[in-house]
Structure 1
Amino acid sequence: MTAFPLSRRGLIAGGLSLGAAVVLPACKPIISNLFTGADAHPADYPTVRAVEFMGRYLADKTGGRLGIKVFAGGQLGNETDTLEITSFGGIDFNRVNFAPLNSVEPMTLPFSLPFVFDDVDHMRRVVDSEVGDEVLASMEPHGLIGLAIYDSGARSFYNAKRAITSPADMKGLKIRVPASDLYVAMVNALGANAVPIPFGEIYQSLAQGVIDGAENNWPTFVGERHYEVATYFSLTGHLLTPEALMMSKVSWDKLTAADQTLVREAAKASVPEMRRLWDQRVEEAKATIAASKVKVNEVDKAPFAALMRPVWDQFITSPQQKSVVERILAMREA
């Protein structure tokens, strides 16, 4: 099991996992066992609403015996912090992107590779297959039970300088990336300069010219108002890294076999609901951009993908990882 360093936040949050009866205000139904859930996204985000859907599903199936209270908007910490807390049972359910899982379990890396997925449909086929189940199962030795895989959308580059139609247009651009070795390697391989800065600083950094651009999905581009300061949106679709719903193994082991089956059933049922909400959010964001001053351009992805082989070779090193990548590629449509 991976040894997560025990932080002060983790010690404080250790009391959040309820696993036992709690007293709630009068409501219907009254939940006698209320599990905690963590999500860094805002309260109205599709992943948050999907886990809330899961909680209602559990409450309905158990007559109110089980339920989930989701703490959204990073109330319990960033994804690295909450993973640590979840691993020792301080949080019951945790929605995280696959990117922070990469440093915990190497088998999650194939899902995070640039251009490994052709499009959203390809990604969904893969994560719904035995490959998705295998990758989720790889988290159990680290104190995490993988329950479901959600969407995180297709990430594309946006900037304040020019349209990006080929890798040559990336040259010299300062592009914000998360604090991830994989993201840094990807952007640098495309000829731009990767600048790791916190997510909350992107808008101001774009406005002040500290960075030229960033990369993310349609809803984030709109929801964080980045389109106000980056008027070129180039649809590279370089990453479709999904998101994972995890449960603490400590909490999982306290459940009966019947309740474990029910939790998996509820998690599976939440996936189409999440996708429905996500697809709706994407269309709303596209409509907002269509009415704005942003110039959107399609991109031939092949020249970009061709530059990723050194990145893949750097991060995919084991036979098990290579097998997952091969099976992902085999699921592409002709």
Structure 2
Amino acid sequence: MNIIKTTTAALLASVALTSTGYACEITLRSSDTHPDGYPTVAAVQHMGSLLEERSGGRLCVEVFHSAQLGEEKDTIEQTQLGVIDLNRVSLGPFNNIIEETKVFSLPYIFRGTDHMHNVVDGAVGDQILSEFENHNLVGLAYFDGGSRSFYNSQKPITSIDDIKGLKFRVMQSDVFVDMVDALGGNATPLPYGEVYSSIQTGVIDGAENNWPSFESSGHFEVAGHYTLDQHLIVPEILVMSKASWGKLSADDQALVRQAAKDSVPVMRDLWAAREAASEEKVRAAGVEIIDDIDKQPFMDAMVPVYEKHVTSEKLKSLVEAIRAVE
């Protein structure tokens, strides 16, 4: 635990110390639903420090964390319109907007975190980033979103049969809805900010997410059973409004791209430390963790999800390309 705290503190300190303190000519407003100190928030703040430093104080980033500018669906629309300049979101909400993003949200498409990194850092990742420009956005970088697993307030999930009949919150994505339905559960799309009260009041039985989100949201307080089926490893993405992008010079655009890219390793280090700390906190709180589950029945149940959503030759080619990456 001391190592985790030291690593996180050092990285956060490096984020703070890079600030130049200059008065900014252009301040880019950035949205994030996660709380202050969360790895994605700290990474975009680090990006802002790099931009400020490299532009001689002309370019800055102001991060509005904790959903101050709205939930993800609303902030995506605002970013497309140019009201918000930068936005860190999960790829899930983009699935119904940009077809190609669906492949990263397919259950068990990634064999692990290293495989996901190799995919998003390579040609497939670049290809999908380029698709955002057709939707008034500029894709800048991928961040980690961890592996997502089911948690609920009712009972431990030790097999696929235990999911039947349970109501799970999912992101507003058809892929996520169909995934839960294929497992026998009842999918309920809800904004992230409504999950805690919905579990607490019995509107839903649970949700699915990674260790840091499960912990930082307080969901572990109302959902005492967490099953590490790791059905999804969905990257997060940092996008910029195409309208805001168009107002920058070519040189400043290059600075923004590079700063975003350089924020990725910082985010990954912060994420690894935060993930370990969150897991330790949740386990210490007495949440029942089921980590020896047989994933194969879960994977077998995903066949109809792939058949429904991977229909075009383009998507089939992307899936093949992902699977071919070492």
TM-score norm. by structure 1 comes to 0.87
- Whichever residue aligns with residue 245 of structure 2, its letter is W
The superposition leaves residues 95-127 of structure 1 with CA deviations (integer Å, 9 ceiling, x where unpaired) of 111111112210111011111112211111111
314, 321, 329: which is aligned to 2:323? 329
1:29 corresponds to 2:22: yes
CA distance in 2, matches of 1:207, 1:75: 23
Following superposition, the deviation at residue 311 of structure 1 comes to: 0.6
Q: What percentage of aligned pairs have identical amino acids? A: 50
- Whichever residue aligns with residue 28 of structure 2, its letter is F
Following superposition, the deviation at residue 34 of structure 1 comes to: 1.4
- Whichever residue aligns with residue 73 of structure 1, its letter is S
Could you say what secondary structure the match of 2:27 adopts? strand
Change beyond 3 A, Cα 1:58–1:200: closer
- Whichever residue aligns with residue 191 of structure 2, its letter is P
CA contact (8 A) 2:102 2:175 kept: no
Change beyond 3 A, Cα 1:93–1:179: closer
Following superposition, the deviation at residue 162 of structure 1 comes to: 2.7
Following superposition, the deviation at residue 36 of structure 1 comes to: 1.5
Written as runs of structure 1 = structure 2, the 5 A alignment for 1:184-333 is 184-298=177-291, 299-332=293-326
CA distance in 2, matches of 1:234, 1:170: 11
Could you say what secondary structure the match of 1:325 adopts? helix
CA distance in 1, matches of 2:61, 2:22: 12
Gaps of 5+ in 2: 1-19
Change beyond 3 A, Cα 1:254–1:206: closer
Could you say what secondary structure the match of 1:138 adopts? helix
- Whichever residue aligns with residue 88 of structure 1, its letter is L
CA distance in 2, matches of 1:171, 1:266: 45
TM-score norm. by structure 2 comes to 0.89
The superposition leaves residues 255-305 of structure 1 with CA deviations (integer Å, 9 ceiling, x where unpaired) of 222222211110100001111111111111111122122121222222101
> Hey, which bits of structure 1, 4+ residues long, moved more than 6 A?
none
1:168 corresponds to 2:161: yes
CA-based RMSD = 1.6
Following superposition, the deviation at residue 145 of structure 1 comes to: 0.8
Could you say what secondary structure the match of 1:275 adopts? helix
CA distance in 2, matches of 1:29, 1:175: 47
Aligned residues: 306
Could you say what secondary structure the match of 2:256 adopts? helix
Could you say what secondary structure the match of 2:96 adopts? coil
CA distance in 2, matches of 1:127, 1:243: 11
- Whichever residue aligns with residue 300 of structure 2, its letter is A
Change beyond 3 A, Cα 1:107–1:207: same
- Whichever residue aligns with residue 311 of structure 2, its letter is T
**Alignment correspondent of 2:11:** none
99, 106, 116: which is aligned to 2:99? 106
**Alignment correspondent of 2:125:** 132
Gaps of 5+ in 1: 1-26
CA distance in 2, matches of 1:77, 1:40: 7
CA distance in 2, matches of 1:249, 1:179: 23
